[in-house]
Amino acid sequence: MAKAMTKSQIVDHLSRKTKTTKKFSEQFLNELVSLAHREARNSFSIPGLGKLVVVDRKERMGRNPATGETILIPAKRVLKFRIAKAAKDAILPKK
């Protein structure tokens, strides 16, 4: 299995593909991430890739794996990333 790209590799790739400087590409990437952080509460979408959404989880029963004791897991808010259909179709081959 191949390793994931590092941030510097992503910046290098973007700068080559867009024929811009690495500094500009890094600023763009940093601003995109910053924008996603700020807007995630309202859901943040990157067309063709996916959407960041905040989801409210209900409380539920769980089990302590060490003791086997049943415990109540409280309700909480979590951040999820929903993959776009276009991304899923491009990455996973159809059967």
DSSP string, 70-85: EEEEPPEEEEEEEEPH
Same domain, 18 and 57: no
Total structural domains within the chain: 2
Convert the pLDDT of each residue in 9-32 to its tens digit: 999 999 999 999 999 999 999 999
pTM passes above 0.75: yes
Same domain, 91 and 54: yes
Same domain, 73 and 30: no
CATH number of residue 70's parent domain:
4.10.520.10
Return all residues near 15 (Cβ < 8 A) that are at least 6 apart. Answer: 21, 22, 24, 25
Is the pLDDT confidence value at 95 over 80?
A: no
Query: Alpha helices, DSSP H only, in the chain?
Result: 7-18, 22-39, 85-91
- Supply the range of the domain harboring residue 89: 48-95
Convert the pLDDT of each residue in 48-86 to its tens digit: 999 999 999 999 999 999 999 999 999 999 999 999 999
